[in-house]
Structures are given as structure tokens and as C-alpha cells.
Structure 1
Amino acid sequence: MKTSEFYYDLPQELIAQHPLEDRTSSRLLVLDKEKERIEHKKFVDIIDQLNPGDGIVLNDSRVLPARLFGNRPGKEEKLEVLLLKRTEKNIWECLVRPGKKMKAGGRIEFGGGIIKGTVLRIGEDGTRFIEFFFEGIFEEILDQLGEMPLPPYITEKLEDGERYQTVYSKNPGSAAAPTAGLHFDKELMKKISDKGVKIIYLTLHVGLGTFRPVKVEDVNDHIMHSEYYQISNDAAEAINSVKATGGRIISVGTTSTRTLETIADEEGMVRAGSGWTDIFIYPGYRFKLVDGLITNFHLPESTLMMLVSAFAGKELIMSAYDEAIKNRYRFFSFGDSMFIK
């Protein structure tokens, strides 16, 4: 299977540069994969697509202000450091720009020395593994010094950083938002709960590997990035209860989907736990647990495009994307939404 099979031509003006004022007012393309039918709705109408007894699974990871600007001791030139993922207590895999300035053993400081870092080693793909030294709580210092790491295709300034967080975000650790959840507000979530739909949370800390293009010609040759996940006993029991009583598991976003498909056994049952997943879902994959998927519109030739194609069928997805472009849907992180059922 070729990466080029997942390409589509997107007009630049359809890339959403800012979130809508009302989270739930984005558009919703409903794709019925069995009937091969498309409907155009508003996201607030998602409640009509959910049934009592269903379970909706959301990723409660919170985006860190993971973009830091510092300099080498005694040097004025600014360096940009983007935290990708924590590998040990105070050691992070990072992107550094310009990278050639930071070799193994190199030192960097931020905020006049509030945080100091040492490059321990350089990864195969050019990332730096940096150990940070500081006094206090790292996340609180990041709130003071860091900036929100918006995707590279968003070029306009975000005035309110909370708009790149879901309203239910709780566990800091992501370098990018689980953007399918940005469409929910607290009022809509209460209505969903009042309808008898179980709202279930898990955590997957999203890395910037999400945005890295697939550079190989053959999909099978792509090496998937790994991300840390965690699911509680209560969440596992709720998922198993929904399945046992005939309800559907509706996954919100590709991050929730990858986590669910990682932890599910062949019978579609799950157990609590944590770990790292590098699951790569593309056409030919057999889903074990997820029955429905709420997701945004994804970049051409991306692993996310491949995942939704695996869930709905590549031809049907490509047709749905053509329809979305014709109808001037907004694309990517701050864009509109799709429900695949």
C-alpha cells in the first residue's frame, strides 16, 4: 500500500487558523459507513447520534506550554526547545532549533537560569534528550516560561491558550491537543450524560509525531512514534459494561482510538493499565473495540488519515473528504468534525 494513495488536494484557505467562538458550532459531517451515506449537521447535533447505553471515550490529557526559548550560558543567540515527551523523571526528548548549536553535553538555560538543561544524547532522528534542573514543580514553571506549541500549519497567534485545551483536560503531558475533543463544551457533555450515555476518560499524551509526515513510499515501512497511555480501573469497567450490555463504544479522536485498540483483547475487553503504544492502524486492520469515531479532518498522507481510512474504508473516506472540500468545511486542529458510524 502506497503513501500516495492517501493524498488529497486541499485549498490553503480551508485550513482553520483559529477556533470558533462557540466550540459546539463547528460543522459535523456524519458518515454512515454501512449505508455509504453522508449528512451535514452542526456539532451540537452529535447528541442525536448517541444512544442511551453507549459509551463515549475521551482523552483527558492536557497540553503543556511545551515551547521554550533559551540560550547557551554566556551566549545571546536564542534557541527554541520543544518538549516532545518525558522519557524519565526530568529527562525529555526535545526538538531544538537550531539543532546544530546543541551537541551532546551542551548546556542551555531558560528564564535567566530558572530552568537549566544538559543535552545527554542525540537521537537517530535528530531529537535531543535533555535533562532539566530546576527548583519547584516543573509544570508550574512551564506555565510561567513556556508557550503553547501550535501545529506548524497554524500561523496566526492564539489569544487564549485554553482554546487549544479540551474543557475536560486534566493530566498535563501532551505536546499537541487531542483536537477531536475541542468541539465539546460542558453544557453539551451534561446533555450527553443526561441522555444515558456513559462518559469515560482515558489518558494518552500526544506527541508531535502526530504531525510528522510519512516519508516512506510503502506504508508498511513507516516506523510509528510511541506515546504514553493510562487507563483506570473505573474506565476499564465502564467500557466493559457498555460492551456487555450491547452499547457502542464511541471514540473521540484518533488518540483515544489508538489507546482503546492497544488495550483491548481479541474479545474486545479491556483491563486497567499504563504503558507506551506505537500501534499503527491502516487499512487492513481489524478493529477490536471501537464502534464509532468522532474525529477532525486530517493532513494528506498522514498516519491519522490512514487510521480513519482503516475504520471507514479508504474509498469512502476519500469521497467524504471530497464532499467536505466542496462544502467548504474547515480542516485540521481548529477545523470542523466528522462522525463515522
Structure 2
Amino acid sequence: MATKALDFYLPNELNASHPPEKRGLRRDHVRMMVLDRTTGEIRHDRFFYLTNYLQPGDLVILNNSRTIPAVLPATWLRNNVRIAPKVEVRLARLRHDDTWDALVVANPIKTGDTLQFSPELSATVIGEKENSPLKIIQFTKKGSDLFNIIYSLGEPIRYEYIGYPWDLDYYQTVFASHPGSVEMPSAGRAFSWELLFKLKHKDIQVDFLQLHTGLSYLLDDQWEQSPEENEEEYQISDRTMEKILQTKASGNRVIAVGTTVVRALESAARNGALSGVTNLYIDQQYPLKIADGIITGFHEPKASHLDMLSAFVSEHHLLQAYDQAIEACYLWHEFGDMNLII
């Protein structure tokens, strides 16, 4: 279980509420704090100069999952009687072509109730997750038909530090290609096509895997999820894994872009499966087998992501770096600044 021992005070003004583009910055020009895994040395730069910290032959692995608009408004019905004209449904994880785990912000919604999203789409509550507020809902559409309607009706998930409903495009990486994440795999957001070409020009390899992120916050601290309870689907191609193994064998480094990529890579290394569902929890005791470095954003106090970062660098150096980031007014969360640990 996550210990969540890494705690600190984060001033509210350091929560990034606007995308960099709305602050007059290119996405690849956000700030970057570089943290040495061994010495704890800290350097400050811009993300566009990432190539200065990587070597020819290194391999950067990105998550190409695409963010979906996972917040859907619905009418709540029971036995064909309307209980509430509008409730909020937050998709959490795809189970099958027509079935999702979802957080229905309505109490007490029961198995058998109906959620009417539009004249073309409804869903029935068919069960619930054990020890969780998440319900299992089955839609009347499936596959691409369901996704098309979700895209027409939904909005991206946003948390309390984001006061404006930014368009879905602001929650996408430039290379996102496979819809399925309910929250943006945000560590890849700062990459631009220009920066990706810069990496390739320096003979730094770039490749992709896929991990669809689940719903991280259930709107009630009573239901705080541990990483083991947050199951996420991942997929790594044979060709990508072959490139990873060749990179490691050559003495070069594999740099994971985001905690999602670390989770997928280390799950594959642990269980030998290149695709499946992972609930892997990584902390300072976990021996990393693939990832040699990580590019990530800044994570809130007590977040399980901080436990994962402590597998790369000591808690002492990590907290020291975060103290310096706060003092230097780095920005947090998906629209914030970046942290390279290498």
C-alpha cells in the first residue's frame, strides 16, 4: 500500500490553472528542473533544451493514449421515473466495448437505474466496484459508435484548481493517437513536433507505448484510491520492447515520459506480458528494471506519484528539489512545469 509519506506545503498560486499557451508560452518552453539521481544536484532550464541532458542512443518512451471528454451529463431514471434531471457521470475505466467503471455524482444511485445521456444513448447501472463509489454501467452503444457520442456530449475532467472549461485540445499531447485516457497523460504535454525532431536530429531515439489513464480522484477523500486499486490497461509492441532491450544492452538509457510509462514498462518487465491490466505500485523499495530516468510534472503533497519518484532518487533529494521548486515558483499539475530526473 502507498505510504504517502512525502508531504510539503504547496502554495495555492503554484497550481497552474491555465495552459502555457494561454500564459503566452509555447508548450515546449515551460520551465524544467533537472535533478541528478545520484548526487541530488539541481539545475534549472527550459523544456525545449531537453536535448542538452540526453545522449545519442538514449531512448525516450512516450504514452500515445489520447484523452477523451470523460465527464457526461445525464438524466437519472429509476423504473422509468425521473429521479433527477441532471447528474454528472465521470468515466473511470473501460471494461468492455460497451461497459465502463464510472463515478456517478448522485446518491444513492442503485443497480438497475438508468442514465439517459441523449435520445441516442443511455446506460444501465449493472453493478458496483467493491469498496469503491464507482459503479459499473453498460451503454446502449459500443466501440466507435459509443466513442463518437462521448466526444459529442462530453467535457474533459478538470479539478478545482482549473476554473475555466478549457477545450479538449488543451488536454492532448501533440502525438496522442489512441483514445482511452480519462485524464491526460500530462508528462508528454510539453513535447512539440519541433522538439521531437530535435531529439531525432541528435540521434536520441523516440518510441511510444499506450496506457489509458484511469480516474485518479473520486471527489471524496473517504474513497482515496491506492495505486493497487487503480487498474489501467497498457500495451507495448514487440518492436518497441525490442528497441528497449537493444538500448539497455548498448549501455544507453531508457527515459520514461510520465509515471504511466514507468508503470507500463515495469509491469511488462515484472510479469513478462506486453499488454494487459496493471495495478503495479512502485516506491523507493522497488528495483526498477527498465526505466533509467523520468520526465514528469510536479505532483501534489502525499501523491502516490511521489512514492514512484522515490524509486529514482532518494526521498531526501526529492524533497530538497521540491522545496527549491516551490521557492523558485515552478507551476504544478497538467498545465505546469516539468521535472527531469536522470
Normalising by the residue count of structure 2, what TM-score does the alignment of the two structures yield?
A: 0.91
User: Does residue 1:43 correspond to 2:51, yes or no?
Assistant: no
- 1:256 matches 2:261: yes
| Structure 1 residues 313-332: aligned runs within 5 Å | 313-332=314-333
- Local SS of the residue matching 1:40: strand
1:171 lines up with 2:174 in the alignment: no
Match of 2:334 in 1: 333
Q: Tell me which residue corresponds to 2:121.
A: 115
Structure 2 residue aligned with 1:79: 87
After superposition, the Cα gap between the structure-2 partners of 1:187 and 1:211, relative to the gap in structure 1 and judged at 3 Å, is farther
- Aligned residue number for residue 288 of structure 2: 287
- Structure 1: give runs of 5+ residues left out of the alignment: none
User: Which deviates further from its counterpart, 83-92 or 148-157?
Assistant: 148-157
Give the residue type in structure 1 aligned to 2:214.
Answer: G
Once the two structures are TM-superposed, the CA of residue 153 in structure 1 deviates from its matched residue by: 3.2
Q: Where do 1:1-341 residues align within 5 Å?
A: 3=3, 5-21=5-21, 22-73=26-77, 75=82, 77-100=85-108, 102-111=109-118, 113-124=119-130, 125-134=132-141, 137-158=145-166, 160-209=167-216, 223-264=228-269, 273-341=274-342
SS where residue 42 of structure 2 aligns? strand
| AA matched with 1:150 | R
Give the aligned residue type for 1:264.
Answer: A
Distance 1:89 1:190 in 2: 36
Does the CA contact (< 8 Å) of 2:228 and 2:280 recur in 1? no
- Residue 122 (structure 1) shift: 2.0
Alpha-carbon distance between aligned partners in 1 of 2:168 and 2:239, rounded to the nearest angstrom: 30
1:239-264: CA deviation from partner (whole Å, max 9, x where unpaired): 11111221100000000011111111
Q: Which moved more, 1:134-143 or 1:243-252?
A: 134-143
User: Secondary structure, in 3 states, of the residue corresponding to 1:310?
Assistant: coil
Letter of the aligned partner of 2:61 in structure 1? V
CA contact (8 A) 1:295 1:337 kept: yes
Give the distance between the partners of 2:223 and 2:126, measured in 1 at CA.
29
Per-residue CA deviation, residues 202-232 of structure 1 (Å, 9 max, x unaligned), is: 0000011378898799x9x874411000011
* One-letter identity of the residue aligned with 1:238: K
Once the two structures are aligned, what percentage of the paired residues are identical?
36
> Would the alpha carbon gap of residues 144 and 187 (structure 1) be closer, same or farther in structure 2, given more than 3 Å must change?
same
Distance 1:340 1:312, change over 3 A: same
1:141-180 superposed Cα distances (whole Å, 9 cap, x missing partner): 111111111234322221x321211101011111101111
Q: Which runs of 5 or more residues in structure 2 are unaligned?
A: none
Aligned residues of 1:3 and 1:214 also touching (Cα < 8 A): no
Distance 1:26 1:194 in 2: 21
Determine the C-alpha separation between the residues in 2 that align with 1:152 and 1:84: 18
Give the direction of change, closer, same or farther, for the CA distance of 1:213–1:39 in structure 2 (3 Å limit): farther
CA distance, structure 1, for counterparts of residue 341 and residue 220 of structure 2: 24
Residues of 2 paired with 1:155 and 1:245: CA distance? 47
Residues 76-110 of structure 1: per-residue CA shift (max 9 Å, x gap): 5201111111112211000001131x210001111
SS of residue in 1 equivalent to 2:158: coil
Distance 1:30 1:211 in 2: 32
SS in 1 for 2:140: strand
Return the alpha-carbon distance in structure 1 between the equivalents of residues 330 and 220 of structure 2. Answer: 22
- CA–CA separation in structure 1 for the residues paired with 2:198 and 2:295: 17
Cα distance in structure 1, aligned partners of 2:165 and 2:149: 22
Alignment coverage as a number of residue pairs: 332
Structure 1 segments of 4+ aligned residues over 3 angstroms from their partners: 1-4, 210-217, 221-224
Whole-Å Cα distance in 2 between the matches of residues 103 and 33 of structure 1? 49
Q: Give the direction of change, closer, same or farther, for the CA distance of 1:2–1:178 in structure 2 (3 Å limit).
A: closer
CA distance in 2, matches of 1:277, 1:2: 16
CA distance in 1, matches of 2:165, 2:228: 32
